[in-house]
Amino acid sequence: MHLLICDDDARFAARVEQKVRDELAQRGIPAQITVCTRGEEALATPHLELYQVALLDVDLDTMNGISLGRQLRQSSPDIALIYISAYLEFAPEGYTVNAFRYILKRDMERMLPNCLEALFHEKTASGRKVLTIRQNRTEMELPYDSIYCLESDLRKVNVYGDVPHQPLCSYYGKLTDLPAELFENGFLRVRRSDVVNMRYIRQISGYKVTLRNGVELSVSRNGYAAIRATYLEWKGQFSDES
């Protein structure tokens, strides 16, 4: 998960970062967190389209936090905006950008865990399709849109999200046992050992597929033309729908 924190008080921003890291660690969620002290710095963050959550101050030195939220939405339309401010009077303005929550700074330590819990619940319980993984008498459900790719490693399958090289989970199994529904919903096998989520493909060229998080995977040379054609057809359909 990619999260952005922007507050012109560097010490407070560090407190927010640590609190977020603690909450994510308790849930076993790998994260990339970027901390900024200026709105302009936040907007210059590479690959903003990957960010799913932004925790913002409203009263920044050089930019209004509400304006910053609107501009972040241009790069990442589904980003969840959480405002953390010292001033209650800014709360109504925060909701003009459909903010997920508005938290007073004095209540951050107490309120942020509940806010993040509600956010995670909404993201996983919003009716999205999930991949059910059963391992050692336990069951895990991963929403399709949290998965960038699945990689076969001998008798094990590694499932990766937006943080490169850090598996969301690993389980014993084979790619051939993945449900057909997965491939009916935008997943594509690019070689014997890799299945990718087409929504996160940046490009396919030179017998390689590049994902939006920078990961590069080789594409089967024998099937390259068909794989690329499938992706371009899917991309065209997706663009038409949107």
Digit-coded pLDDT (tens) for 129-147: 888 888 777 778 788 888 9
- Are 141 and 116 contained in the same domain? no
Residue 107 neighbours by CB distance under 10 Å: 10
Q: How many domains does the chain have?
A: 2
Rg (CA), the chain: 20
- Are 156 and 120 contained in the same domain? no
- Are 43 and 100 contained in the same domain? yes
Domain stop point among 70, 96, 126: 126
- Are 65 and 113 contained in the same domain? yes
Tell me the per-residue pLDDT of 4-59, one tens digit each, with 9 for 90 and over: 999 999 999 999 999 999 988 887 777 889 999 999 999 999 888 888 899 999 88
> Are 4 and 65 in contact, with CB atoms under 8 Å apart?
no
Q: What percent of the chain is helix, strand and coil (3-state, nearest 5)?
A: 40, 30, 30
- Are 117 and 212 contained in the same domain? no
Domain stop point among 84, 100, 126: 126
How many angstroms separate the most distant Cα atoms in the chain?
62
* pLDDT grade for 217, boundaries at 50, 70 and 90: very high
Q: Is the alpha carbon torsion for 83, 89, 95, 101 positive or negative?
A: positive
CATH number for the domain harbouring residue 79: 3.40.50.2300
Q: Which domain holds residue 177?
A: 130-238
Distance CA 51, CA 163 (A): 11
User: Mean pLDDT across the chain, nearest whole number?
Assistant: 86
Domain stop point among 103, 126, 149: 126
The dihedral formed by the CA atoms of 10, 16, 22 and 26, expressed in degrees to the nearest 10 = -150
Distance CA 14, CA 7 (A): 9
- Are 107 and 186 contained in the same domain? no
